[in-house]
Structure 1
Amino acid sequence: MRIDHVVWDWNGTLFDDGDALVRATVDAFARSGLAEITLAAYQEHFTRPISEFYDRLAGRTLTAAEQLALDRHFHASYTELLAGATLHPHAASALAEWQDAGRTQSLLSMFPHARLISLVQFTDIAHFFSHVDGMRADESPRKEPHLRLHLDRLDVDPAHVLVVGDSVDDVHAAHACGVRALLYHPPEQPLVSHARVSALGVPVAGGLPEVVRWALAESDRQHHGV
């Protein structure tokens, strides 16, 4: 099937804050007096909801108080590190290339909705998207129902949609909703271990321009019956 619409992830995909996410998690565990966290552990265990991720990192079920402390420390640290994070250097050109090909795109993130809107406007890429959806207070902390709501808002056939994100949850959510997925896996600091990537069985791209090239080529292959 031709790909007409891309649903982009924000954190770690279009927004180059992967290092900030890892460092804030490491800092949160250290400030909470819990086990030391490594990049390898982050890559191997990341999942949603975040409370489950923290349980995996700790190797046990954390108490409600421990979860609250981790959440507080993470957001305090991430807010400090956010000042050093920027839009991925190839994000705007990749979005423009997809738009120039006559296709549509939207943005879906688990980042708080109001803060997401502010960042998207600040980075001057809002005009590329038909819809922008962040996490609202009354929504599930899991990606699948969030994606399902987003797809309901889009005037596109799910068979022609591609979800692009950097986590295992992006892929699982896409499959649960009946749409295709591509994993963005940058070589500099991927947020998913190579073992987990191999097990997913989906296309993988190391750069955003590569994502667009793959999606356009896939459409051509389907059109010509290859």
Structure 2
Amino acid sequence: TGELAIPIGLHISWNFFQGNVFGFPVSGADFRSATLIQIQQSGPEWLTGGAFGPEGGFLGIISNLLGILLIILWIKIRTGKVGLQTTISLPPAVKSKTSNPSSGSNTTELFQGIQHIIWDWNGTLLNDLGLCLETINDMLYERGLNSVSPSTYLDIFGFPVRDYYIKLGFDFSEEPFEEISTEFIRSYEAGRPGCTLMDGARELLQFFYTTELSQSILSASKNSYLEHAVLDYKVQDYFVLIEGLDNHHAASKLSLAEEHLDKLHIPPSSILLIGDTLHDADIADKLGLRCCLIPNGHHSKQRLEKSSATLVDSLAALRKLYISSLEKSIQIPK
């Protein structure tokens, strides 16, 4: 045994790294064979490091223990019990307690292949539900009609808004729809400066702005009102395109959406539309966009669950979902 240059531990270490780290073509059988042969050649002194001579016992024990640990690690890796992977280290704020952020499907793939986000404005980025309820109830009161509760509003509001007004009890034979719509918008615009952005909206827009994703706004609001509002909230710089309708009757934004896509020059399959109503989901379906709905706006969660869109509970949850997709995309499989 004294003729050996180094103890078995170092041979084990070299065999392990040679076959599993440096990528040399050494099979598991070759590794085990080399190890067993070295033990047999070393004789009873292999554990105490006799190969180093009378004064090498301590160093030999250390090297051999290292070799044993590497054997154990090698066995676990080869049997799949240990996987090597790397993930992004997230700040504590992002690693806060988690819950199921969505009741929809395919949440983990929501951002896969996405290059651009189209945002709805009212009820998605702008928190104007309270103002809409106050405005419409004032109009109903003036006409002697029953007021609408928040829960009823969420269940009947929709596009075209003309149908929604009929459900509320307005009689277009007595008052033209255009006059009713104009009255609502006049009162709404007077109160709109008192509205705020949704919780986390500004931070999320800024966050996406720092990524490779571009952003735009597609709204059923009249374009001139929309542009003025976006400027008021100082978020205009986050968007490459801001578009609303050429009127305030809010019939549909499907035609506008088609024009919007033509200007973006991005494949529909690479675009995510984020909104708060079934109308947003319908547009996404017809144009081949991916869709995410957030139930904090003008439709109830129960209504939104009937769509095929992914449902995410809040803008904060949407951000966590995006970060999770980044983590998943950089994992190294076993």
Q: Where on the TM-score scale, by shorter chain, does this alignment land: which range?
A: 0.7 to 0.9
Partner of 1:33: 144
Deviation, structure 1 residue 115: 1.6
Taking structure 2 as the reference length, the TM-score comes to 0.60
- Which deviations, in whole Å up to 9, do the C-alpha atoms of 1:106-151 show, x marking residues without a partner? 0111111112111212211111111000111499821222212211
**Correspondence 1:25-104 to 2 at 5 A:** 25-58=136-169, 62-63=172-173, 65-104=175-214
Taking the aligned partners of 2:184 and 2:329, their CA distance within structure 1 comes to 44
Taking structure 1 as the reference length, the TM-score comes to 0.85
**Corresponding residue SS for 2:306:** helix
Matched-pair contact (CA < 8 Å) for 1:48–1:143: no
Taking the aligned partners of 2:285 and 2:142, their CA distance within structure 1 comes to 37
Taking the aligned partners of 1:196 and 1:140, their CA distance within structure 2 comes to 20
Task: Give the RMSD, CA atoms, in angstroms.
Answer: 2.6
Partner of 1:176: 286
Specify whether residues 124 and 183 from structure 1 end up closer, same or farther in structure 2 by C-alpha distance, changes over 3 A only: same
- 1:128 matched to 2:238: yes
- Which deviations, in whole Å up to 9, do the C-alpha atoms of 1:16-52 show, x marking residues without a partner? 1121112212222222333322222211111111111
Q: Quick one: which of 222, 225, 228 aligns to 1:118?
A: 228
Specify whether residues 24 and 86 from structure 1 end up closer, same or farther in structure 2 by C-alpha distance, changes over 3 A only: same
- 1:201 matched to 2:308: yes
Specify whether residues 121 and 200 from structure 1 end up closer, same or farther in structure 2 by C-alpha distance, changes over 3 A only: same
Taking the aligned partners of 2:323 and 2:195, their CA distance within structure 1 comes to 29
Unaligned 5+ residue runs, structure 2?
1-111
Moved more, 105-114 or 81-90: 81-90
**Correspondence 1:146-225 to 2 at 5 A:** 146-186=256-296, 190-215=297-322, 217-218=324-325
- The structure with the largest alpha-carbon Rg is 2
Taking the aligned partners of 1:221 and 1:115, their CA distance within structure 2 comes to 40
Specify whether residues 216 and 163 from structure 1 end up closer, same or farther in structure 2 by C-alpha distance, changes over 3 A only: farther
Unaligned 5+ residue runs, structure 1?
none
**Corresponding residue SS for 2:164:** helix
**Corresponding residue SS for 2:175:** helix
Matched-pair contact (CA < 8 Å) for 1:116–1:134: yes
Give the number of the structure whose residues are more often strand, by fraction. 1
**Corresponding residue SS for 1:162:** strand
Matched-pair contact (CA < 8 Å) for 2:120–2:217: yes
* Counterpart residue type for residue 158 of structure 2: T
Matched-pair contact (CA < 8 Å) for 2:284–2:290: yes
Taking the aligned partners of 2:182 and 2:250, their CA distance within structure 1 comes to 19
Taking the aligned partners of 1:171 and 1:109, their CA distance within structure 2 comes to 13
Deviation, structure 1 residue 82: 1.3
Partner of 1:6: 117
